[in-house]
Amino acid sequence: MSFRAEESCSQREGTHRIDHRKVSDMNTRTLVAIILIAVGIVAFAYQGITYTTREKTVDLGPVHVTTEKTRTLPLPPIVGAITLIGGIVLLVRGSKKG
């Protein structure tokens, strides 16, 4: 009797097993899709990354003179569009599989 009870219990558990690899893969895809969508939106909004560098121009004993230069790394709108569309496609494709 005890053996049959254990057998039926394991059969019931078998119907509700979760494949953790699929869940992990789905979570990873969703996370990557959300990151791509966010980067795409930021690329559209800012259209470039601006940063400041400091360069030492004069160094005479105790006298130090530095200059700050502002530089911009342009991001074309097509980069934002491709990133945004890629994130949306990945999100939709991942939700259809799940």
Place of tokens 């160094």: 59
Percent of the chain with pLDDT over 70: 70
User: Is 29 a domain residue?
Assistant: yes
48 alpha-carbon distance from chain centroid: 19
Cα separation, 95 vs 98, whole angstroms = 5
pLDDT in tens, 62-75: 888 999 999 998 88
Contact call for residues 73 and 49 (beta carbons, < 8 A): yes
What is the total count of domains within the chain? 1
User: Is 68 a domain residue?
Assistant: yes
54's CB contacts (< 8 A; 6+ apart) are: 66, 67, 68
User: Is 36 a domain residue?
Assistant: yes
User: Is 61 a domain residue?
Assistant: yes
The pLDDT of residue 46 = 84
15 has pLDDT over 60: no
Query: 89 lies in which domain range?
Result: 19-97
User: Is 4 a domain residue?
Assistant: no
User: Is 14 a domain residue?
Assistant: no
User: Is 73 a domain residue?
Assistant: yes
Contact call for residues 51 and 71 (beta carbons, < 8 A): yes
User: Is 2 a domain residue?
Assistant: no
